[in-house]
Amino acid sequence: MSSLEFQRDGEIAIVHLARVAKRNALDDDTVRDIERIFSDPGEGVRAVVISARGEHFSAGLDLSSLTDTTPLDSLRRSQLWYRAFERIEFGNVPVVAALHGAVIGGGLEMAAAAHIRVADTTTYYALPEAQRGIFVGGGGSVRISRIIGPHRMMDLMFTGRIYGAEEGHTLGLSQYLVEAGGAEAKAIALAKQIATVPPLSTYGIMHAVPRNAEADPATGYVLEGLMAAMAAGDPVAQERIAAFLAGRAAKVK
Ligand code: 1HE
């Protein structure tokens, strides 16, 4: 693998962007590797952390890909990015992104596909595409605008505005904000906790929650009810409920 590192730690896997000399700018090979890894993170993997080597999470699209490009080349690249980030969002396992430094352009589009984002205080967010005369092409106008709202996204794109870690956190770009250098450790701890959620509940959280947020309510209730019925009938749920009723499981305090 050219610019990604893959490590196993029990039931979790840790993927590092490791193209430090180019500030983890995403070239086609890297995005293909992301598609491949997240399509099949490995037998027994129950959660994945995506983190980055160096001072920055990612400088976004490798802008050298755009020299001598045609509209069709760019369209094909977007299709590749859509497939890769769809594998993060709607693959088999939850993904926790550990952010630090620059989370720019396509780097933010990739992070937006993760289920949980942990940022440290060095993190900053920007969408400089339009400043360069281009446009988001990795799903950002769908995913980022859902997180922060289309008007905030328009502001970022029109003005080149940068959000710091605190501001991004307030707007939902991260669910956790930790001290400088602490994002990866926190992401790993969260991934290990997430790995204990039984598979049917995990499936519902990953696949039903975001779909139902977009669905008409009547359809959403049917999907949710079916998901709840499947999960409750699973032996692992029966065991866990029995354990609580017998006083053997943790209380919610
Ligand atoms: C790059 C890229 C890149 C760095 N493509 N080569 N993204 C951007 O517009 C962000 C552009 N990058 C930056 O603003 C800065 O590089 C950083 C703030 C991220 C880091 O600054 P710094 O001072 O630590 O590093 P540097 O000296 O700017 O960069 C180190 C090297 O990485 C240098 O190459 P070198 O051969 O001269 O050593 C840079 O040219 C190279 N580099 N970023 C290519 N992005 C599917 S649509 C998505 C569209 C987008 O993502 S647009 C956003 C593009």
Q: Which of 19, 23, 31 to mutate to test the pocket of ligand 1 (most atoms within 8 A of CB)?
A: 23
Atom of ligand 1 nearest to the CA of 109: 48
Q: For residue 62, how far is its CA from the centre of ligand 1 (angstroms)?
A: 7
Beta carbon of 91 within 6 Å of any ligand 1 atom: no
Check whether residue 205 and residue 148 sit in a common domain. Answer: no
Distance from C-alpha of 216 to C-alpha of 191, rounded to nearest angstrom: 31
Q: For residue 63, how far is its CA from the centre of ligand 1 (angstroms)?
A: 8
Considering only CA atoms, which residue is closest to atom 10 of ligand 1?
59
Atom of ligand 1 nearest to the CA of 127: 53
Residue-range definition of the domain harbouring residue 224: 199-245
Q: Please tell me the total count of domains within the chain.
A: 2
pLDDT tens column, 3-27: 999 999 999 999 999 999 999 999 9
In the structure encoding, which two tokens stand for residue 126, read together? Answer: 């920007």
Check whether residue 76 and residue 167 sit in a common domain. Answer: yes
pLDDT of residue 2 exceeding 80, the answer is: no
Beta carbon of 102 within 6 Å of any ligand 1 atom: yes
Q: What is the pLDDT of residue 81?
A: 98
pLDDT tens column, 81-110: 999 999 999 999 999 999 999 999 999 999
Beta carbon of 128 within 6 Å of any ligand 1 atom: yes
Check whether residue 204 and residue 106 sit in a common domain. Answer: no
- Residue 4, H or E segment: strand 4-9
Residue 252 maps to a domain: no
pLDDT tens column, 25-79: 999 999 999 999 999 999 999 999 999 999 999 999 999 999 989 999 999 999 9
Contact between 124 and 164 under an 8 Å Cβ cutoff? The reply is yes
pLDDT tens column, 122-172: 999 999 999 999 999 999 999 999 999 999 999 999 999 999 999 999 999
Beta carbon of 41 within 6 Å of any ligand 1 atom: no
Query: What pairs with residue 163 in β-bridges?
Result: 125
Beta carbon of 125 within 6 Å of any ligand 1 atom: no
- Residue 163, H or E segment: strand 163-164
Check whether residue 171 and residue 229 sit in a common domain. Answer: no
* Helix, strand or coil, per DSSP, at residue 137: coil
Among residues 126, 124, 125, 117, which one has the least CA distance to residue 183?
Answer: 117
Contact between 109 and 81 under an 8 Å Cβ cutoff? The reply is yes
CATH number for the domain spanning 120: value is: 3.90.226.10
Q: What is the pLDDT of residue 134?
A: 96
Check whether residue 174 and residue 85 sit in a common domain. Answer: yes
Cα–Cα distances in Å, from 130 out to 138, 171, 229?
14, 21, 47
pLDDT tens column, 201-252: 999 999 999 999 999 999 999 999 999 999 999 999 999 999 999 999 999 9
Check whether residue 203 and residue 186 sit in a common domain. Answer: no
In the structure encoding, which two tokens stand for residue 63, read together? Answer: 């802008």
Q: For residue 21, how far is its CA from the centre of ligand 1 (angstroms)?
A: 9
At residue 115's C-alpha, the angle toward residues 237 and 108, to 5°, is 175
* Helix, strand or coil, per DSSP, at residue 108: helix
Contact between 176 and 116 under an 8 Å Cβ cutoff? The reply is yes
> Strands 124-126 and 163-164, how do they pair?
antiparallel
